[in-house]
């Protein structure tokens, strides 16, 4: 599951943006880039748990960054 896949677990991009406390356009850019900045990870995991979204963990977010970085090399 990629960062974009995680964002798509939310019922809408608007709900994702509200949970992270960012403007809609920022959330849209995160999805387009397929990358959620680490500064939002704790808030993201907390809101995912509240929404009952499974598989959204700090470890998983970090692993996706590592995989993306390795692929770019």
Domains in the chain, please, with CATH? 3-72 (1.10.260.40)
Residue 40's pLDDT is 97
pTM of the complete model:
0.87
> How do the pLDDT tens digits run along the chain, 73 residues long?
889 999 999 999 999 999 999 999 999 999 999 999 999 999 999 999 999 999 999 999 998 887 766 566 6
| CA atoms 14, 16, 21, 23: torsion sign | negative
Residue 69's pLDDT is 64
């Amino acid at each position: 599951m990629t960062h974009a896949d995680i964002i798509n677990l939310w019922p809408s991009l608007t709900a994702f943006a509200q949970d992270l406390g960012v403007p809609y356009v920022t959330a849209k850019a995160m999805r387009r880039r397929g990358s959620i900045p680490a500064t939002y990870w704790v808030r993201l995991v907390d809101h995912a748990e509240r929404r009952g979204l499974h598989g959204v963990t700090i470890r998983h977010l970090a692993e996706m960054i590592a995989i993306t970085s390795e692929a770019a090399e």
